[in-house]
Homo-oligomer: A and B are copies of this chain.
Amino acid sequence: MTRYQHLADLLAQRIEAGLYQSGERLPSVRTLSDEHSVSISTVQQAYHLLEDRQLITPQPRSGYYVTPRKHTPPAPAISRPAQRPVEITQWGCVLDRLNEEPDSDAIPFGSGSPDMCQSTMAPLWKAMTRLMQAQDSRVLNYDPVYGSLALREQVARLAIDSGCHLNPADIIITHGCHEALMVAIRAACQEGDIVAVESPAFHGIMQKLRGSKIKVIEIPTDSSTGISVEALKLALEQWPIKAVMLVPNCNNPLGFIMPEQRKRELLSLAQCYDIAIIEDDVYGDLAFEYPRPITIKSLDTDGRVLLCSSFSKTVAPGLRVGWIAPGRYFDRVVYMKYTGTGASASHPQLAIAEFIKSGGYQTHLRRMRKYYQQNLEKFTCRVREYFPCGICVSRPQGGFMMWIELPEHFDSVRLSLELSEAKVQFVIGSLFSASGKYRNCLRLNYGLPYSDKVDQALRKLAKAVECAMLECQMQIAEENRQAHANR
């Protein structure tokens, strides 16, 4: 990052924090030049950049002023999905996503990958290389079906941070959280069952349920506190629900952390109706707050929680190392794991175990939490600047996913097609509903390194949204006019 960009970011943060208020005059170029020991031209360039970002406005012969601020867009309201079990659709859209040609020119706001370029990854690379150089024979051999003991010990240690007291023998290593979730479903449910999910919910989870011939009931979910325990209770009274599947910490896609009290209430409800809880904690270690939030599993007294996680979001997805602590479903999960894929690969397990044991993982987490939080601040600021009024934006408390809700009639599928030509990719909201709701929503990965290219892509996206919203409004107005004329 150049000096002027650095200065511009600093000033933007001050504006963001209210140190320079809306409409207020900013310090003169000379003052800033003295204050930050930079050249006059550096300050000028920084001001031009902020002007480009519409954060400040020049007044001829007077200086720069903070652009009168737009209001922060509200968070999405609690969702209102269909209150009955439905067959899951949307596989076609997921497949389209899988079939997308990788395009290194495109800006992948739709990606589910973390940033993997930080220097704190170095100890992991070293551990991986060392095992190879030593021609460690464990790399070639079958691991136990439970996974490497070295890694299970480290996972048990890490789990303490989320309030869980697990033994290595309680844990099974899996091929990413993907496999953990699948074996959890197959262990706790059968064909024809009904499972309750958050709404919106991660499309991967829903496709797994579909593949297991399970119906889902989508439960209203608040974008800051999570699944509505009250609505879940109503659903449990009405339907023979077998399990609830959720991402209570740094939710995907909404980013909330479910408050501890709600977690307790949810567990009580599950105990009362004797259902299983499949808890996906894959983003949990990336909570901005520290110490990290507890898992529902940490409150579990009778083994009904199947806790699933992985190192795909905290470290790297390509290593395919996940894990499950399945409580009372342990034996069934072992069976599903054995019949599904047999043992997991040894090398990445050993390397990650070493990465954790040496403290490298924790250092990396500290870096990533800070990185994502800073990126979120930039993103939120730019979204507010660039996007039109009338949208809602989630307030992520961890992870790297942002959820944007556009007006009700908006078609994000059309927008997605239009923007993929302009090399801007995002995930359409309807993927996050069993029945195709949230067509007016989008999910963005704000974890991308914030470059000029990313900034331009975000502008393009905002511009396209603005145009589409205008079109949409005109269409509605026209429809109203015709309806009025026909009356």
Contact = CB atoms under 8 A, between A and B. Distances in A.
A125 to B, nearest CB: 5
Given A129-B132, A348-B345, A318 B98 contact: no
Interface stretch (A22-30, A173-181, A426-434): A173-181
A99 to B, nearest CB: 8
B338 A341 contact: no
Chain A: interface size category: 35 or more
A91 interface: yes
A319 B345 contact: yes
Interface in A304-334: 316-320, 334
Interface string A182-197: 1000000001000000
A338 B182 contact: no
A467 interface: no
Interface stretch (A65-73, A136-144, A385-393): A136-144
A347 B131 CA distance: 13
A95 B338 CA distance: 9
A151 to B, nearest CB: 14
A95 B334 contact: yes
A346 interface: yes
Interface in A46-103: 91, 94-95, 98, 102
Given A125-B132, A320-B343, A341-B178, A145 B98 contact: yes
Interface in A101-122: 102, 112-113, 116, 121
Contact of A318 (B94, B139, B145): B139
Interface stretch (A202-210, A272-280, A289-297, A447-455): A202-210
Interface of A: 91, 94-95, 98, 102, 112-113, 116, 121, 125, 128-129, 132-133, 135, 137-145, 175-176, 178-179, 182, 191, 204, 207-208, 210-212, 316-320, 334-336, 338-348
B116 A142 contact: no
A317 B129 contact: no
B342 A204 contact: yes
Contact of A182 (B137, B317, B339, B346): B339
A480 B95 CA distance: 68
Contacts of A113: 141-142
A176 to B, nearest CB: 6
A343 B159 CA distance: 26
Given A182-B339, A339-B208, A347-B347, A133 B129 contact: yes
A140 B341 contact: no
A337 to B, nearest CB: 10
Contacts of A143: 318
A185 B145 CA distance: 21
Contacts of A343: 176, 317-318, 320
Contact of A339 (B210, B336, B348): B210
Given A112-B142, A125-B135, A140-B318, A176 B95 contact: no
Contact of A316 (B102, B121, B141, B341): B141
B179 A341 contact: yes
Nearest to A91: B335
Contact of A347 (B91, B94, B175, B318): B318
Given A129-B133, A142-B112, A318-B142, A182 B341 contact: yes
